[in-house]
Amino acid sequence: MSSDLQPGNTAAARAVPPEVLMSLQDVEKDYVTEAVTVHALRTVNLEIHRGEFVAMVGQSGSGKSTMMNIIGCLDRPTRGRYILDGIDVTHRSNDARAVVRNRLIGFVFQGFNLLPRTTALENVELPLVYRGVSAGERAKRALKALQSVGLADRLHHTPNQLSGGQQQRVAIARALVTQPPLLLADEPTGNLDTRTSYEVLGLLQDLNRKNKITIVLVTHEPDIAEYATRIIGFRDGRVRLDQPVTKRRFAADELAKFEAELEERSA
């Protein structure tokens, strides 16, 4: 294990069982300006286990985006502890948190964030470049990741030669290529049409079920949250809801129903 990924001193933190992938302990986040202090998160205690598919929901200003930034090691809590895969990342430097992000977290964003003049294969290879992986090994792993999302026939296409759904699949492959234990998806269907949204949600469900990848999906849409297995709701910087999804939606079923309705209308 890299020295940047060695477990930190967690003596002051509560013990975290090995099946818990992430633990947030009394986490608070304040944003201070000259005029006011904004309490974005207020005493959040939360555990997410390996293999869970969790949806974090809340309207603008609820605290869910701040929580996503802390979970993704893009920001630090003002107070409290954040333990990820046994590593206390709470007070690590920016460079050390960048190493954690590269090794432990795959990101999928609403806007895809692909390099426009770069092929699908090269886009997926990018996180491995930062790791110093050899060119041959990068290509091998990127090909495998693209195959896993159904894009083996689009390796040398640039983003402008791909549909929105295909671009999001490339982004998911890029997030998976380092084999991280956590996939963090921020509004992954926000720029997609209905059919493509079902396809992407179905892919995420398959990755969670078949590959046991832990997924945290951030959304402001309650119906999208129903594709997860657990919903965590934020309001006013606090966790106001934390419960299993009792009537889970399955994207493959919704897609079949959607296509049947389109066929019926066109008949």
| pLDDT tens digits, one per residue of 210-242 | 989 999 999 999 999 999 999 999 999 999 999
pLDDT at 13: 59
Would strands 53-57 and 230-235 be described as parallel, antiparallel, or unpaired? parallel
CA distance 9 to 6: 10
In this prediction, residues 197-204 reach a mean pLDDT of 94
Give all domains of the chain, ordered by start, each with its CATH number: 19-266 (3.40.50.300)
User: Band of the pLDDT at 111, cuts 50, 70, 90?
Assistant: confident
In this prediction, residues 70-81 reach a mean pLDDT of 95
> Is 7's pLDDT higher than 70?
no
> Is 257's pLDDT higher than 50?
yes
What is the residue-averaged pLDDT of the chain?
A: 91
Say how many CA atoms lie within 13 Å of 190 toward its Cβ.
14
What are the Cα distances from residue 255, in Å, to 171, 208, 222, 224, 226? 21, 18, 18, 14, 15
| 200 burial type by CB count under 10 A (0-12 exposed, 13-18 middle, 19+ buried) | buried
